[in-house]
Amino acid sequence: MASAALGPQVAAATSAPVGSDGFFRGSALKVQGTNNLNFQSRPWTGTTVAWENKARQPRHFNKVFCMSVQQASKSKFAVQPVELESAKEPPLNLYKPKEPYTATIVSVERLVGPKAPGETCHIVIDHGSNVPYWEGQSYGVIPPGENPKKPGSPNTVRLYSIASTRYGDSFDGKTASLCVRRAVYYDPETGKEDPSKKGICSNFLCDSKPGDKVQITGPSGKIMLLPEDDPNATHIMIATGTGVAPYRGYLRRMFMEDVPTFKFGGLAWLFLGVANSDSLLYDEEFTNYLQQYPDNFRYDKALSREEKNKNGGKMYVQDKIEEYSDEIFKLLDGGAHIYFCGLKGMMPGIQDTLKRVADQRGESWEEKLSQLKKNKQWHVEVY
């Protein structure tokens, strides 16, 4: 998985009308095809997308990859092919490590500002409609080169949570987006970066250029799938750093896309923990949802290097959870789903906070957690 920013716990030619600014305009695109899509039959493909004019390609914005702000500030976007809604089960492991799919890099954009510790990139990959996925799933990426521990063998697969909906950032079902933090290693004695110990896959992805090829596997994962049986449900999403990736997919599906079979009317509440303001990921996109859907979206940030908690210490995401603990517990009692995504070092602090709050409320956290898992309200993906 992509790494997440933490504090002391631990260190991601259509025929659509296109305007002069390079953005799709409202009418839905018609696609011929069957209404019963079987993800297990891989040969299914869609039409090919190409920008007729390079000047029409979406422009990029400071700190935010192309199109995010404009997309989030417009009315909902039509998506296609709608056949992606017809499958009853999520696609799983369509491509495996021994036979990966060769996809193409579309774009690589730096997401963070100059004062962020480290670099995080938004990477759009063209899978040609051949590796469909659902929100909350992951792709495997096999970086080029030999496995240093097994000479002659390819590198091992690295998993990354997908940061887009099944329709991708262009709403056409042909791309997937990853949120990747470049993994670097600094020698504790010299304080200098040691290139020999850098993350092979994250650096490969962040250094990629449009047109580069990338081998992908998957999709994989079911624990973080967005439950859609109740469109009015409450979803509490807790992330550190690049752990926000699956939630970006959820929120685009809820608030940006005009999905014919899913009309969200519930509450989505995002808690995001990062080091500082420059480290915020997709912040403009989320802020636009807050302005457009104030009754359906809440957004709380924990900036560990800029804010203090009630005890005067650094503000971590668990401190924000504690701040709203009564409301969160009431929502959980009412059937809300709660999700956790990020480095595994985030969980002990969060679990300790939830246990302390439960004790203060006269409840047994162990019993409550058991019930949440039994009711399938508890979703955790840490790495």
* Residue of 125, 170, 234 whose CA lies nearest to 22: 170
Half-sphere exposure of residue 124, counting CA atoms within 13 Å on the CB side? 23
Tell me if 381 is assigned to a ligand binding site. Answer: yes
SS3 content of the chain, % helix, strand, coil (to 5): 25, 25, 50
Tell me if 327 is assigned to a ligand binding site. Answer: no
Tell me if 314 is assigned to a ligand binding site. Answer: yes
Is residue 160 part of the annotated active site? The answer reads: yes
Q: Is 226 left (phi over 0), alpha (psi -120 to 50) or beta?
A: beta
Through-space distance between the first and last CA atoms of the chain, rounded to whole angstroms: 6
What ranges in 93-179 are assigned the alpha helix state H?
A: none
Tell me if 166 is assigned to a ligand binding site. Answer: no
Dist CA 76 CA 92 (whole Å): 29
Strand partners, 99: 96
Is residue 383 part of the annotated active site? The answer reads: yes
293, 299, 324, 383: the active-site residue:
383
Is residue 293 part of the annotated active site? The answer reads: no
Structure tokens at 281: 């990921």
161, 202, 279, 325: the active-site residue:
161
CA 291 to chain centre: 21
Tell me if 305 is assigned to a ligand binding site. Answer: yes
Beta-carbon neighbour count of residue 155 at 10 Å? 20
- Whether 108 contacts 197, CB under 8 Å: no
Dist CA 155 CA 172 (whole Å): 31
95, 139, 160, 316: the active-site residue:
160
Tell me if 197 is assigned to a ligand binding site. Answer: no
83, 135, 285, 381: the active-site residue:
381
- CA 25, 30, 33, 36 torsion-angle sign: positive
Tell me if 15 is assigned to a ligand binding site. Answer: no
Q: Which residues contact 356 (CB under 8 A, 6 or more apart)?
A: 322
121, 179, 206, 341: the active-site residue:
341
Tell me if 178 is assigned to a ligand binding site. Answer: no
Is residue 135 part of the annotated active site? The answer reads: no
Is residue 164 part of the annotated active site? The answer reads: no
- Whether 173 contacts 166, CB under 8 Å: yes
Tell me if 242 is assigned to a ligand binding site. Answer: yes
Burial class of residue 40, CB neighbours in 10 A (0-12, 13-18, 19+): exposed
- Which parts are annotated binding residues? 161, 181, 242, 304-305, 314, 342-343, 381
- Which parts are annotated binding residues for NADP(+)? 161, 181, 242, 304-305, 314, 342-343, 381
Q: Which residues are the active-site residues?
A: 160-161, 341, 381, 383
